[in-house]
């Protein structure tokens, strides 16, 4: 049973997003649209954003170009379209200078005089049930001049600033006082963004914060201690928002019990919902649907499908829950992206160990869909001479370390995990190694075997060998696996004592990575298959902690910003 059927939804919720530019995150209300139980009223005065909004939501949204505020003429301060800092308030130079890079983010490109509109004066907008607002300081003006349209609104998501970036911008405290005076209480912070204070930069990345609070998205709800003031329809809308948008299942139960007490829902609804949460009833699927395929409301095969990805509950390296969102990037242009895969990657930053990792990782079903297409760089035999030239230095370095240990001989087994195009397997075999490739893509294994080399279909996380091997390579693999520590434990068991491990992956601390970041062209933030971004220091530390002694470091020319480390099993 689907939750929307359990609580007997009526008319679609009217959602309003003011400042609806599609710049980064997927909004929390998206699931309401995808479930067919919400309609979006999108307000965006910046004409540069309109086409993207229409492309993203299609028929799910009505788009308005009004600048909402107090109905007076204001100066609009236009910043770069992707900065999200265009505002009716003039940027505060001292505040921008306080934070690293904000002078650039908040740089005013031009100004223009615009006529604002009061929300209550827009006849084409219905009464609103859920409001999201991110308009760089003008939130309170909209609230004060939209109270009629918001009379039935049960939840409001606002961006609030802890240090005001604009002159005369209402503070978080002022906004909070107004919200409480009008019957709302804070429910949750969706995120709390911190930022580094200029000029100090942590780990050579200005986006990595220390402790200074910058801003947050906070959700206010109608006071749950005053539920008697809400109609049955408003309570159902609150339950839908709690379930689909916020994962606030306790609030949802609280509202369901009120509806049962009013005899609007059957007494069995409570137990049915608990069964749904416990997994005894098939839950609503968490699958991103393309905009041109909205949910019809009818049961389909997709409704029964398992999720394609799941969330990291804590940092996968140190298990800390003290994490913040670092950035959100689109991955729709990734070469093997296809319908059903996520359109954006949310990168998290652990405040405990400083690791950077993706918000989610793929399930087996997700990997099956992901690997149903072959990346052009992973097709075997496209340019073997180039592959030989690229891999020869690595094989020769491994040979050098084996010679030092007097290990060169006839039974030198090299296991290349995640062998991809097979270039390393083929090159290692040419140097005399008994090279075997392991890959989870059937196409990769078949193509390598077709050339007469050894390869098997398998998963690193299930790796078992009958006889420990001398060399294992993880060439651009460790950043792909959800849990690198567990992966290295498997490798440690498969290597004979003193055996060599070759690891390569991108280095986020390299000069080319930093330059690509500065130019806004770093391809790794859109890598659909990557779950981790390591620096040289973090990779060396992880290897040492898992029983490997790093022997040497080198720069790989195979991929942008790539590093390579050879270690010996302790």
Please determine, for residue 542, whether its predicted confidence score (pLDDT) is greater than 90: yes
Q: In which residue are the tokens 């990575």 written?
A: 513
Question: Using CA atoms, how far apart are residues 523 and 440, in angstroms rounded to an integer?
Answer: 24
Q: For 62-76, 125-139, 232-246, 368-382, which range has the lowest pLDDT when averaged over its residues?
A: 368-382
Question: Using CA atoms, how far apart are residues 96 and 105, in angstroms rounded to an integer?
Answer: 8
Fold agreement between 12-233 and 379-569: yes
Q: What's the confidence (pLDDT) of residue 281?
A: 41
Q: What's the confidence (pLDDT) of residue 411?
A: 64
User: Can you tell me whether residue 281 is helix, strand or coil?
Assistant: coil
Q: Which residue from 404, 408, 426 is spatially nearest to 416, judged by alpha carbons? A: 426
Please determine, for residue 374, whether its predicted confidence score (pLDDT) is greater than 60: no
Q: For 76-80, 404-408, 430-434, 465-469, which range has the lowest pLDDT when averaged over its residues?
A: 404-408
Please determine, for residue 484, whether its predicted confidence score (pLDDT) is greater than 60: yes
Bridge partners (DSSP) of residue 189 are 218
Instruction: Measure CA 250 to chain center.
Output: 25
Please determine, for residue 253, whether its predicted confidence score (pLDDT) is greater than 90: yes
Q: What's the confidence (pLDDT) of residue 421?
A: 83
Please determine, for residue 382, whether its predicted confidence score (pLDDT) is greater than 60: no
Q: What's the confidence (pLDDT) of residue 287?
A: 36
Domain segments of the chain: what residues?
Answer: 12-233, 306-370, 379-569
Q: What's the confidence (pLDDT) of residue 426?
A: 93
384 or 262, higher pLDDT: 262
Tell me the mean pLDDT in the region 63-76. Answer: 93
Tell me the mean pLDDT in the region 314-324. Answer: 91
Q: What's the confidence (pLDDT) of residue 351?
A: 92
pLDDT band at 477 (very low <50, low <70, confident <90, very high): very high
Phi, psi of 223 (to 5 degrees): -50, 115
101 or 465, higher pLDDT: 101
| Cβ(41)–Cβ(344) below 8 Å | no
pLDDT, one tens digit per residue, over 101-127 is 999 889 999 999 999 999 999 999 999
The CATH topology of domain 12-233 is Rossmann fold (3.40.50)
pLDDT band at 162 (very low <50, low <70, confident <90, very high): very high
Tell me the mean pLDDT in the region 334-338. Answer: 78
Please determine, for residue 132, whether its predicted confidence score (pLDDT) is greater than 80: yes
Q: What's the confidence (pLDDT) of residue 373?
A: 64
Tell me the mean pLDDT in the region 364-384. Answer: 65
Please determine, for residue 233, whether its predicted confidence score (pLDDT) is greater than 80: yes
Please determine, for residue 137, whether its predicted confidence score (pLDDT) is greater than 70: yes
Phi, psi of 435 (to 5 degrees): -90, 135
Question: Using CA atoms, how far apart are residues 393 and 532, in angstroms rounded to an integer?
Answer: 26
Secondary structure of 307-363 as H, E, C letters: CCEEECCCCCCCCCCCEEEEEEEECCCCCCCCECECCEEEEEEECCCCCEEECEEEC
Q: What's the confidence (pLDDT) of residue 541?
A: 94
Question: Using CA atoms, how far apart are residues 1 and 12, in angstroms rounded to an integer?
Answer: 19
Tell me the mean pLDDT in the region 226-246. Answer: 94
**CATH, domain 379-569, list 3.40.50.410, 2.60.40.10, 3.40.50.150, 3.40.50.720:** 3.40.50.150
Phi, psi of 262 (to 5 degrees): -85, 0
Q: For 16-20, 67-71, 290-294, 460-464, which range has the lowest pLDDT when averaged over its residues?
A: 290-294
H helix count then E strand count, the chain: 17, 23
Question: Using CA atoms, how far apart are residues 390 and 411, in angstroms rounded to an integer?
Answer: 24
Tell me the mean pLDDT in the region 287-305. Answer: 36
Please determine, for residue 204, whether its predicted confidence score (pLDDT) is greater than 90: no
- Given CA atoms 80, 82, 84, 86 in this order, what sign does their dihedral have? positive
Q: What is the DSSP string of 458-486?
A: --GGG---SS-EEEEEEET-TTTSS-HHH
Q: What's the confidence (pLDDT) of residue 166?
A: 95
Phi, psi of 331 (to 5 degrees): -125, 15
Compute the mean pLDDT over every residue in the chain, rounded to the nearest whole number: 87
| Cβ(358)–Cβ(325) below 8 Å | no
Q: What's the confidence (pLDDT) of residue 334?
A: 78
Write out the H or E segment, with its range, that includes residue 565.
Answer: strand 562-569
Please determine, for residue 328, whether its predicted confidence score (pLDDT) is greater than 80: yes
207-to-152, 161, 202, 347 alpha-carbon distances in Å: 39, 17, 8, 12
């Amino acid at each position: 049973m689907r939750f929307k059927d359990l609580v007997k939804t009526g008319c679609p919720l009217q959602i309003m997003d003011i400042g609806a530019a599609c710049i980064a995150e997927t909004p929390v209300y998206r699931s309401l649209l995808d479930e067919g139980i919400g309609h979006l009223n999108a307000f965006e005065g910046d004409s540069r954003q309109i086409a993207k909004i229409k492309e993203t939501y299609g028929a799910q949204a009505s788009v308005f170009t009004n600048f909402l505020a107090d109905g007076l003429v204001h100066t609009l301060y236009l910043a770069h379209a992707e900065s999200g800092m265009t505002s009716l308030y003039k940027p505060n130079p001292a505040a921008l200078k306080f934070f690293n890079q904000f002078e650039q983010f908040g740089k005013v490109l031009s100004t223009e005089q615009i006529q604002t509109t009061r929300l209550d004066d827009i006849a084409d907008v219905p009464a609103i049930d859920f409001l999201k607002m991110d308009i760089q300081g003008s939130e309170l003006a909209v609230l004060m001049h939209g109270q009629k349209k918001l009379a039935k609104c049960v939840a409001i998501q606002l961006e609030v600033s802890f240090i005001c970036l604009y002159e005369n911008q209402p503070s978080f405290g002022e906004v909070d006082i107004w919200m409480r005076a009008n019957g709302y209480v804070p429910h949750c912070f969706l995120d709390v963004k911190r930022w580094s204070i200029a000029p100090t930069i942590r780990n050579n990345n200005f986006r990595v914060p220390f402790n200074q609070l910058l801003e947050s998205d906070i959700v206010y709800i109608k006071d749950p201690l005053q539920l008697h003031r809400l109609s049955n329809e408003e309570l159902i809308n609150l339950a839908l928002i709690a379930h689909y948008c916020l994962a606030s299942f306790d609030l949802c139960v609280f509202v369901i019990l009120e509806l049962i007490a009013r005899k609007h829902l059957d007494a069995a609804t409570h137990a049915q919902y608990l069964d749904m949460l416990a997994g005894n009833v098939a839950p609503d699927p968490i699958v991103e649907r393309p905009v041109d395929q909205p949910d019809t409301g009818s049961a389909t095969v997709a409704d029964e499908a398992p999720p394609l990805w799941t969330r990291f509950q804590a940092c996968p390296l140190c298990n800390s829950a003290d994490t913040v969102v670092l950035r959100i990037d689109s991955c729709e242009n990734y070469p093997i992206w296809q319908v059903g895969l996520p359109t954006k990657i949310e990168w998290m930053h652990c405040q405990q160990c400083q690791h950077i990792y993706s918000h989610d990782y793929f399930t087996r079903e997700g990997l099956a869909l992901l690997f149903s297409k072959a990346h052009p760089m992973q097709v075997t035999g496209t340019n073997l001479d180039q592959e030989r030239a690229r891999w020869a230095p690595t094989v020769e370095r491994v040979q050098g370390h084996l010679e030092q240990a007097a290990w060169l001989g006839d039974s030198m087994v090299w296991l290349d995990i995640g062998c991809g195009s097979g270039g390393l397997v083929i090159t290692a075999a040419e140097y005399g190694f008994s090279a075997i490739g392991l890959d989870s893509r059937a196409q990769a294994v078949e193509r390598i075997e077709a050339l007469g080399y050894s390869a098997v279909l398998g998963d690193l996380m299930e790796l078992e060998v009958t006889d420990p091997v001398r060399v294992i390579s993880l060439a651009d693999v460790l950043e792909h696996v959800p849990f690198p520590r567990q992966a290295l434990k498997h490798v440690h068991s498969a290597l004979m004592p003193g055996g060599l491990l070759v690891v390569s992956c991108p280095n986020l601390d390299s000069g080319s990575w930093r330059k690509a970041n500065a130019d806004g062209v770093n391809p790794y933030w859109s890598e659909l298959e990557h779950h981790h971004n390591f620096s040289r220091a973090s990779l060396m530390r992880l290897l040492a902690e898992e029983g490997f002694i790093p022997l040497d470091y080198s720069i790989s020319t195979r991929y942008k910003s790539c590093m390579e480390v050879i270690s010996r099993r302790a």
